[in-house]
Amino acid sequence: MFANFLSHLEEVRRRIFITLAVFGLAFIGGFFFAEPLLTFLLQPLKTFYTEGLVFQKPHEAFLIHVQVAIMAAIFFSSPVIFIQIWQFAAPGLYAHEKKTALTLTLWSIGLFAAGVLFAYTAAIPCGLQFLLSFQSPNLKPLITAEEYFSFLIGMFAAFGVMFDFPVFIIGAVRLGLVSSQTLAKSRRIIILIIFIAAAILTPSPDPASQILLALPLLLLFEGALWFSRRIEKQSPVSH
C-alpha cells in the first residue's frame, strides 16, 4: 500500500513538473512576444481612444509585460495542463464517468473560450464606447496601463466563468441533483439571478456590458434546459 502511495506521489510530481515546464516555456515565449500581444489586446480600445496607455510607476510597464506573458502562458499551456490532469484522474474512473467528465470538461473549456472571445469582440468595445462617451472639453481621458488591463482581465474572467454555467446545470441534471422540470418552473427566478449576477460580476459599471453578459446567458440557460431534457429521456433518473 505504501509503495502504491509512493507511485502515485511520483506520478503527481512528474505531471506537475511537465505542467510547470510547459507553462514556463509558454511564459518565456509570451514575454518575448509581449508587444504584438499588447497590440492585439489594445485593439478594442484604439477605436475610441487613440492615445497610448500611460504608466505612473517605474516598474508598471514591466509588470504589464509579465501579465500579458502569464495570460499567453495560460492560454497556450492549458491543453497540456488538461491532458496531464485527465491522464492522472482517468484510471480511477468508470467508463461512464470518464465519458461524462470528459464531455463536461471539453464543453467547459469551449464555453470559457467563447465567453472570452465574446468579451473581446463585443462586450469590451461596447462598454468602452459607452464609458468614453462621457468625455468632454472639461473631462479628458488619461488611461493608465494598470487600469486598462485590470478592466480587460476582469471582463475576460467574468464572461469566461459565466459562460460556463450551463455545464453546471447539465452536470447537476446528469447527477440527478435537479430536474429539467424544476429548472423550467424556476425560469423567472433564474432569469432574475442571471441579471443580478451580470451586474455584480461585470467589472464595468455600464449597463451595456451587463446586458451583453446577461442576454447570452439567457440563451445558454435555454440551451442547457433543452439538453437536460434530452439527457433525462436517454437516461431517466428519479428525483
pLDDT per residue as tens digits for the range 41-62: 999 898 888 888 898 888 889 9
Q: Which element (helix H / strand E) includes 114?
A: helix 95-118
How many domains does the structure of the chain reveal?
Answer: 2
Query: Does a structural domain hold residue 31?
Result: yes
Specify whether 59 is located in the same domain as 130.
no
Q: What is the largest CA-CA distance in the chain?
A: 75
Residues, the chain:
239
Specify whether 166 is located in the same domain as 53.
no
Domain that holds residue 15: 1-92
Mean pLDDT calculated for residue range 194-204: 83
Using an 8 Å Cβ cutoff, are 156 and 121 in contact?
A: no
Residue 238 pLDDT = 43
Q: Which of 112, 217, 110, 236 is nearest to 173 (CA)?
A: 236
How far apart (Å, rounded) are the C-alpha atoms in residues 60 and 73? 20
Specify whether 88 is located in the same domain as 26.
yes
Whether residue 186 has pLDDT greater than 50: yes
Among residues 58, 92, 126, which one ends one of the domains? 92
